[in-house]
Structure 1
């Protein structure tokens, strides 16, 4: 319940003002960013916090960052900078995964907000930088065996103190990355976003007073917690288990990595138990605990109510159990740059477990991974070194009442695609194909979303290619009679005498001018029996090229000549 001394209308106005501040910060960061992974793919988040590091509001960008930004800020305040060491004009930087960051390319920047001499909160941004050094362009080595191979590590330090730039730290960053103009440019975009947030937060506090806003924030947290708990109470109590696997860890090839969750619904809270997951991997697919928490928060939001405000109160309903030394709680310096694939698969597994508790509410399995492509080398357009990084989605599982979505980054990702026009304009690349992956969506009453096909040609010699992917031995599950989706694959120089099926995790492969990379991403599962699908929908799928003649005949028992 909302306290009697809090005006509910004013609480809504102030609460949504904070949301608007986070969204305005997001817009500022995107519009000033240098790299396509930020400017086009939107791989970043912005948020505002109270003076203790509790989340007040976050932009609707990347669910991977749910909870992790606030946990990182709290760690900084507890272990590195006390309140009396923080000043107006500071910007605190960190990217160390074992101090709260997701992986080394994700750089976080926090700026304190003062009203007069009183610290009232922080603005924060978390941004995926195209390169932070390490053994491979894009800082995405699929064969890393220790954290140090994944790029420059920055503990909590002041990039600015009292408004004065730390030129030494800027110089260190510049000397350790492959595209300093882009990395520093995106970093300054984060600074700009934080400054926008600071200005708006100051205006809000000055308009209503520090005490009024502080009281409202507390009530705002309680309101979200109350509504989440009410939704959980509607679920049937019990525990629900599901499991799956990653294809491998990139180092010990073709050795599946076991992932498992037991979710307990207990009165008004959800308990996520990941203690039966595999031991930490030699390769870079480990996940630090702050990022695993984001999976639990994301899944909880999916199965409750999306209209509930996203703030610290929403997290109080969730408990996460981890075991040290496992792939979801590794021991330093285990590598973590591929953690994205692990948490994507964990998200799918968690939803599968909850499908047992919430029948006919959970979509079928999705592609639950992302095919990342990183290229580095000489760019004749700029006569300088370049790094190109793209993240490719696939199919979203069919839903209980409609088809799944195609060619998207699902679950804790939510990144956009990099338009081929943008990539060709900036880099020595030519995109020859970009289309949906036919038949990759599992057939059913409702069809699973399709993966994508992408083919690009190298226009410059001596480029270095790294690819990170999974889901080539995993068929996304169909639900309630729906068929499984298809996995993906990667081929170099298809249809030529130099054709070569690539291993799903490639690091530092040298490619030459004229070489062609072709890949397919995974689809998703169907929902319900294919024989229950509306005939007109089947025919439209065939006419649109979503399904082949063979599928039309063998699965849906329709002869193309009869249409």
Structure 2
């Protein structure tokens, strides 16, 4: 701890902290309201955050956990790659091995200046519905290397001293299927950054830039102190957990995650030694993704009122074995590392934490994002379209009550695309959208039910990609609760019968064909008999 922030009394510091979180929230609202794609304007598959001058996460909105936790570890390396930024500069990046995400998650970062000095940085990350690659939507079911998943954008200046670098933008847009939509969403991200810069400048005028920097440090120190107090309350010892992904998309072999958690007096260590090596398929996760899922689980273990910033992680060590699929190295395929592997990391960490603080930890939620991507040519316009969505499922039963039905869980909290918006935007028809009754695991507090969602292709043929898991290994129950139901994917050709398809696959559908996703239920918590 630095001991800085002595000029801020507790009330003023809390006012400042809430002002920063409100700024991140306003950035997100601006992004949502000005975006072009349904994936952002309807689902809010985007996140915004604020960093200090040392690229430490100071404040975030309650956006998408998989984005926010990974930005915590990715903004610093991105800034190191581009060097000193000037007023008006904006950096763009989606390179997973620097920016810490998968390719569809494009991040824009801008510096915020006041009184002639650097205050910090504002960042906006958004999942773009297409960034090129072998399949529409850039989430292929069975990619084997990063180059198949889309255009890789290293950290570069999209704006330099306020001037658009048009050649960079042209290069990006020339490699995607839906260029106008991508341009609109990038402009929405830029608008979010401008809001963030403006609000930080206002805070600097109110407090003065030096005092504001001191306040940033004090907010991080406060989170660290709260985390240290929480660690001291936990029972010391070593705790072990294991879980697995169904497969990596290239074969049938399960992919194991192993974890040891060591609780000391003032230190918490998460060690993933023994986890599976890097895979041929696309479930590999870059290290910031592993940090992101661990960060999420730590928030559940601790206290919702502890600020979610870099200070919270100071007393925590996360060890990721080199060569494992939890620390992917180029040219690994990584698109499902975000959507599927982070969910299983979170499940594994929470399973260990359930031994430490059973009164706080729920049973496993659905453990997958059930991502579906559909693309082709829209007969109404003659232009390419790309639809992308993650589908809700069952939440795990909780110590204090049942799991919720049909919600996004753990590493994503995006909304669904409303049926009307989907059918207006794409040549698709929603045939079914309903709860999957009986899919929640039984228990004293049952798991939440999953959902059934099916789409019929109306136009010409379309390519469909599915990224899903928990089709072989069910979401676990806790303390005698039953497992939740496994998920299921199927296709029904026009006039034909349903046939089951793998959890990770890309295939062609023709007009009148239907694809369906039945999502997992959450595990039950506690014995149904009360014993």
Partner of 1:16: 18
Mapped contact 2:494–2:512 kept (Cα < 8 A): no
Structure 2 counterpart of 1:137: 136
Within 5 Å, give how 1:268-283 maps onto structure 2.
Answer: 268-283=266-281
Alignment match of 1:63 (pick from 62, 65, 72): 65
Unaligned segments of structure 1, at least 5 residues: 534-563
Can you list the C-alpha shifts for 1:231-281, whole angstroms capped at 9, x where unaligned?
1110101111111111111112x2111111111111122211112110111
Larger Rg: 1
The structural deviation recorded for 1:469 is 1.0
Contact 2:465 2:504 in 1 (8 A): yes
Q: Runs of 4+ in structure 1 displaced over 6 angstroms?
A: none
Looking at structure 2, the residues matched to 48 and 370 of structure 1 have their Cα atoms a distance apart, in angstroms, of 26
Name the structure 2 match of 1:551. none
Q: Which residue matches 1:377?
A: 376
CA distance in 1, matches of 2:16, 2:400: 36
Deviation at 1:446? 1.1
Helix, strand or coil: the match of 2:11? helix
User: Aligned-pair distance for 1:494?
Assistant: 7.6
Structure 1 SS opposite 2:307: coil
Indicate the RMSD between aligned Cα atoms, in angstroms.
Answer: 1.6
1:255 maps to: 253
Deviations 1:499-529 (A, max 9, x none): 321122111x111111111221111111222
Deviation at residue 493 of structure 1 after TM alignment: 1.0
State the partner residue of 2:341: 342
Q: Which residue of 1 aligns with 2:8?
A: 6
Q: TM-score, normalised by structure 2?
A: 0.97
| Distance of 1:310 and 1:361 partners within structure 2 | 18
Q: Is the contact between residue 4 and residue 214 of structure 2 (CA under 8 Å) also seen in structure 1? A: no
Shift of 1:359: 2.2
* 8 Å Cα contact 2:139/2:465 also seen in 1: yes
| C-alpha distance in structure 2 between counterparts of 1:76 and 1:384, whole Å | 34
Deviation at 1:187, TM superposition (A): 0.6
The residue number in structure 2 matching 1:404 is 403
CA contact (8 A) 2:245 2:469 kept: yes
Determine the C-alpha separation between the residues in 1 that align with 2:369 and 2:310: 29
Contact 1:235 1:358 in 2 (8 A): yes
Between the aligned partners of 2:516 and 2:14, the Cα distance in structure 1 is: 50
Cα shift at 1:485: 1.0
User: 1:376 & 1:449 partners in 2: Cα distance?
Assistant: 31
Deviation at 1:361, TM superposition (A): 2.4
Contact 1:494 1:518 in 2 (8 A): no
Q: Does 2:294 align with 1:296?
A: yes
Measure how far apart 1:498 and its partner are.
Answer: 4.4
User: Does 2:500 align with 1:501?
Assistant: yes
**Pairing 1:537-548 to 2, within 5 Å after superposition:** none
Give the whole-Å Cα distance in 1 for the aligned partners of 2:17 and 2:482.
44
User: Distance in 2 between the 1:355 and 1:195 partners?
Assistant: 42
SS in structure 1 at match of 2:335 = coil
Taking the aligned partners of 2:410 and 2:497, their CA distance within structure 1 comes to 36
Q: How many residues are paired up?
A: 528
Tell which deviates more after alignment, 27-36 or 59-68: 59-68
1:175-190 matched pairs, under 5 angstroms: 175-190=174-189
Question: Which residue in 1 is equivalent to 2:81?
Answer: 79
- 2:391 aligns with 392
Structure-2 separation of matches of 1:266 and 1:381:
62
The 8 Å contact of residues 455 and 517 in structure 1, kept in 2 or not, is answered as: yes
SS at match of 1:145: coil
Cα drift, residue 297 of structure 1: 1.1
Separation (CA, whole Å) in 2 of partners of 1:379 and 1:512: 13
SS at match of 1:291: helix
Map of 2:356 onto structure 1? 357
Secondary structure (helix, strand or coil) at the match of 1:123 reads: strand
- Residue aligning to 1:231: 230
CA–CA separation in structure 2 for the residues paired with 1:497 and 1:203? 62
SS across alignment from 1:530: coil
